[in-house]
């Protein structure tokens, strides 16, 4: 099994930037396709971005395309999400997830989840 731990959330001004990290332990990160999801207040959890095992292919929700960048460093067992031009609607708890299916946007196809990191946006 792999354990995931997110960090890097916090309070950011609208238009600002933030980088989230997801540290993996227990098994090599390279074993898994990875993704970020988020859950805003009063909303369902939604797909944000996904990345292939070696980081060559990335996938994004339309709402974040061009503003967010997913990346991974398998040597460091860490997944990243760079958030730029942050908007109030980006405020949410962000979760990293690991699973076998590259590019999946479906929650139930991810077997392992972190505890989440909160992103709060001030306007």
Residue pLDDT, tens place only, 59-90? 999 999 999 999 999 999 999 999 999 999 99
Quote the CA–CA distance of 91 and 104 in Å, as a whole number: 23
**How many residues comprise the chain?**
123
Cβ contact 66:83 at 8 Å: no
Task: Report phi then psi at 18, rounded to 5.
Answer: -155, 150
Q: Note the pLDDT of residue 7.
A: 98
Quote the CA–CA distance of 27 and 98 in Å, as a whole number: 11
What is the average pLDDT across 19-37?
96
> Predicted confidence band at 123 (pLDDT cuts at 50, 70, 90)?
confident
Average pLDDT of the chain is 97
What is the average pLDDT across 16-38?
96
């Amino acid at each position: 099994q792999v354990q995931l731990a997110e960090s890097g959330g916090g309070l950011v001004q609208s238009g600002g930037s933030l980088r989230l990290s997801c540290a993996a332990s227990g098994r090599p990160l390279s074993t898994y396709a990875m993704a970020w999801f988020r859950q805003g207040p009063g909303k369902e959890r939604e797909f944000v971005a996904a990345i292939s095992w070696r980081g060559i292919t990335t996938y994004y929700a339309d709402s974040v395309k061009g503003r967010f960048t997913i990346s991974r460093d398998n040597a460091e067992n860490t997944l990243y999400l760079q958030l730029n031009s942050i908007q109030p609607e980006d405020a949410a708890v962000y979760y990293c997830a690991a699973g076998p299916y590259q590019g999946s946007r479906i929650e139930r196809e991810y077997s392992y989840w972190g505890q989440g990191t909160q992103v709060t946006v001030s306007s």
